[in-house]
Chain A
Amino acid sequence: MNLDNIFNEIEKVDPEVYGRLDSRRAAMKSFARTSGKMALAAVPLAFGSMLQKAYAGTRSVSDSVVEILNYALTLEFLEAEFYNTGLMTTGLLAPGDVRSGIEIIAKHENAHVKYLQTTIMKLGGTPTPKPTFDFSGGSGSGNGPFKGLFNSLDLFLSVAQTFEDTGVRAYKGRAMEIVGGGDVLTAALQIHSVEARHAAYLREIRKTLGSGIGNVKPWITGNISGINSQAVQPNYNGEDVTTQSGINIVGINGFPISFNAATEAFDEPLSKADVLAIVTLFIKP
């Protein structure tokens, strides 16, 4: 068995292995392990051959990463402008704890926009331009279900909660596509958990202010939005899953884990299509 055969065999098992960022990284690691077992003189040849193949197709890999980052950038534009508008609207957020909390969130969303733009450019991509938003959720009509949200703290916080919970689901839904993606994946995960912190805060604030319907908690119970509008239901559908990779969580191993706890313990992803269907309502075509 010679080295060429080894690599040929690897390619037979997974022809796309060299065309994906994660696979390239993993192949490198795999190679590092394997090379320890090879005769030293044979290593450079094998390494050169692997590199050549590993870097073929880099273009398409970074294209797909850029596409995902631009998807994230659109969501961050939405959130940033939403909070910026809220903070600039006279009479909506009086000085106080809630305003301070929203200022913290706004700071992060604006930072995410900048960070994603910079990262996309570093990867050789073009950041998507900021859309024109319709925060009423009326696809540009200004007459959507959340009309008047900048004049109502209750409505504003409801939409804020929805955006954050949806952001968490959106990042989660696409992180898998950059499995093994190194720094870019880590950054996406770091944004993802910040969105979750925001969501928990907004949910708690809504409960404190008594603006929730039912008993909204920092975590998502079932597929309940805690918001008095059916318009946000698609954002919460599918959160009521109680089985994780085939393992039933309710009452698992004899522990008294209820339906509610089982659904709260795991946040569920949303597909790109589902997120775009939701986001489209807030974008003027």
Chain B
Amino acid sequence: MPKSLSDELMTAHEKDRAQLSRRKFLGYAGAATGLMAALAACSKEQIQSTSQAGSVTADGVDLGSGDVGILNYAYALEQLEAAFYTMVVMNPYTGITPFELSALTDIRDHEIAHREYFKNALTSLNAAIGTLEFDFSKITFSSRESVLATSEAFEDLGVSAYNGAGRLITGAAYLLQAGKIVSVEARHAAFIRDLRGKNRFADDTIINADGLDLTRKPSEVLPIAATYIKTKIDASHLPTY
């Protein structure tokens, strides 16, 4: 049965109302309260928005919309990083030093922690995308330069992705969580950059004349990441600016 206009308006209204109450709650809940408390106060329907986050269609796996979409976007990138470093640690490059292996193992663990954090947070919202498939055929894991160049690219990409996505987040608690992660990605990026050459940690190729780091929109990040992601991703419902 086709919906009447008043039904449509009602639905739209309820969505707005849900979004507003959710944001209001998250906005004032603050850092200490956090995501789980927010979940307790908001029904899944309220957090979930229009598109079916995690569903798979001909367009690919749907990241979803609103804050959930951004969380899934971050989850996808963390899956990529974690899978990469898992490979790196399992197949150490020729001539790797104990110090380098130890640092790369640390980074692997951080990325797994990020990935699993998003997985659990999104699963509790019933909105998690599944496990993505990756294609690392362009990387020579036995080569220090190939591995570290890829690592640098991933970390800089991650920093720019979080920097660019921050403004799309409407819940303050989500923004804080993204902030807690992005600075660790920046630490990784700086470290890996300096492993490849002295004083590259924040050079002029990434930091502009105002002293600002890279920022990229999801629409700029995903095509770059797609080189390494086999699974088709549908980001069409993500918020934009």
Contacts and interface: CB of A to CB of B under 8 A. Distances in A.
Interface stretch (A33-41, A125-133, A140-148): A33-41
A107 B204 CA distance: 11
A226 B179 CA distance: 23
A284 interface: no
Interface residues of A, number: 83
A26 B177 contact: no
Contacts of A196: 182-184, 186-187, 190
Contacts, number: 262
Contact of A192 (B15, B120, B179, B191): B179
Interface stretch (A60-68, A152-160, A255-263): A255-263
Interface stretch (B54-62, B140-148, B209-217, B222-230): B209-217
A17 B21 CA distance: 10
B213 A193 contact: yes
Nearest to A244: B117
A111 interface: yes
A249 interface: yes
Contact of A265 (B12, B110, B166): B110
Interface stretch (A85-93, A177-185, A228-236): A177-185
A192 B211 contact: no
Given A30-B19, A186-B166, A269-B31, A194 B213 contact: yes
Contact of B106 (A22, A30, A219, A245): A219
A97 B201 CA distance: 12
Contact of B189 (A16, A17, A197): A197
B186 A193 contact: yes
A108 B204 CA distance: 10
Contacts of B44: none
Nearest to A111: B211
Contacts of A38: 9
A218 B198 contact: no
B180 A244 contact: yes
A6 interface: yes
A190 B213 contact: yes
